Amino acid sequence: MKSVGDEGALAGVRVLVAAGSTRAYIDSVRYVSNASTGQTGAAIVEECLSRGALVTFVHGPCCAQPNVPEGKSDALTTIEIETVGDALEILREELRGGNQQVCIHPMAVLDYLPERLNGGKIPSDKTSITLKLVRGPKIIEQVKQIAPAIILVGFKLESNCSDKSLVKQAEKLMGRSGAEFVVANDQARIKDGKHPALICRKTDKGIETIETEGKREIARVLCDQIQDLLMKKREGMPRTVWST
Task: Yes or no: say if 36 and 108 are a contact pair by the CB < 8 Å rule.
Answer: yes
Please report the pLDDT score of residue 238 as a whole number: 52
Segments forming the whole domain that contains residue 164 = 14-112+134-236
Residue 98 lies in a domain: yes
Residue 122 lies in a domain: no
> pLDDT-derived band of residue 163, with 50, 70 and 90 as boundaries?
very high
Residue 3 lies in a domain: no
Report whether pLDDT(239) > 60: no
Please report the pLDDT score of residue 66 as a whole number: 97
Residue 144 lies in a domain: yes
Domain harbouring 79, CATH code = 3.40.50.10300
Please write the tens of the pLDDT for every residue from 46-87: 999 999 999 999 999 999 999 999 999 999 999 999 999 999
Please report the pLDDT score of residue 234 as a whole number: 79
Residue 25 lies in a domain: yes
**pTM of the model as a whole:** 0.91
Please report the pLDDT score of residue 241 as a whole number: 38
Please report the pLDDT score of residue 7 as a whole number: 65
Among candidate residues 129, 138, 136, the one with its CA nearest the CA of residue 26 = 129
Residue 241 lies in a domain: no
**Total of domains in the chain:** 1
Q: What DSSP assignment string belongs to the chain?
A: -PPTT-TTTTTT-EEEEEESB-BEESSSS-EE------HHHHHHHHHHHHTT-EEEEEE-TT-----PPTT-GGGEEEEE--BHHHHHHHHHHHHGGG--SEEEE--B--SEEESSPPSS---TT-S-----EEE---THHHHHHH-TTSEEEEEEEESS--HHHHHHHHHHHHHHH--SEEEEEEGGG--TT--EEEEEEEETTEEEEEEEESHHHHHHHHHHHHHHHHHHHHHTS-HHHHT-
Residue 27 lies in a domain: yes
Please report the pLDDT score of residue 240 as a whole number: 38
Please write the tens of the pLDDT for every residue from 170-219: 999 999 999 999 999 999 999 888 899 999 998 888 899 999 999 999 99
d(CA 118, CA 126): 14
Please report the pLDDT score of residue 216 as a whole number: 96
Please report the pLDDT score of residue 191 as a whole number: 87
CA dist list (Å): 221 to 8, 60, 193: 15, 24, 19
Report whether pLDDT(98) > 70: yes
Q: What percent of the chain has pLDDT over 70?
A: 94
Residue 170 lies in a domain: yes
Task: Yes or no: say if 13 and 230 are a contact pair by the CB < 8 Å rule.
Answer: yes
Please report the pLDDT score of residue 154 as a whole number: 98
Please write the tens of the pLDDT for every residue from 116-157: 999 899 999 999 999 999 999 999 999 999 999 999 999 999
